[in-house]
Amino acid sequence: MASQNDSPGFTLIELMVVVIIIAALAGMVLPRLLPHADRAKRDIARGSIASIETALKSYYLDNQHYPKTLDKLMKKTGSAKNWNGPYLEKAPLDPWKRPFGYKYPGQNNASSFDIWSKGPNVEDGSDDVTNWEQ
């Protein structure tokens, strides 16, 4: 005759051992993956900046001037006579969910306009992603 203690399943101690092993593995792996996530976001920001540059250059080819703001790439304005847009579907956000900065005329770039993301740290400019990086 089988008693109640003979039922199949895991004991509380066995479950606790598995949870501790998983926590230990996560503790070893996560610190190694986090720097890669930040680098991936910076690469995504660079790709988005390149897409914005392409949209700006297309706008320039059609209108012989750059827009004063990025929102003019998404809707026709009174000054855009040869409108072939929208050049951007929606206002681009950087990987940190903030709008990209845009300035025309630019001060840092030979292509006449500046585009930037503040990166993960808004206060410190050391991690900014820009279109004038070397």
pLDDT in tens, 6-50: 667 778 888 888 889 888 888 888 777 777 777 888 888 889 989
Domain boundaries, the chain: 41-130
pLDDT higher at 6 or 119: 119
Percent of the chain exceeding pLDDT 70 equals 85
pLDDT in tens, 54-73: 999 988 888 888 888 888 88
pLDDT band (50, 70, 90) for residue 134? very low
Asked if 59 and 73 count as a contact pair (C-beta separation under 8 A), the reply is: yes
pLDDT recorded at residue 2: 53
41-130, CATH topology level: Glycoprotein, Type 4 Pilin (3.30.700)
The whole-angstrom distance between residue 39's C-alpha and the CA centroid of its chain comes to 10
pTM assigned to the model: 0.70
Asked if 46 and 129 count as a contact pair (C-beta separation under 8 A), the reply is: yes
Q: 62-96 burial by CB neighbour count: b if 16+ within 10 A, else e?
A: ebeebbeebebbbeeeeebeeeebebbeeebebbe
Residue labelled with tokens 């792996």: 29
* CA gap 15, 10 in Å, rounded: 7
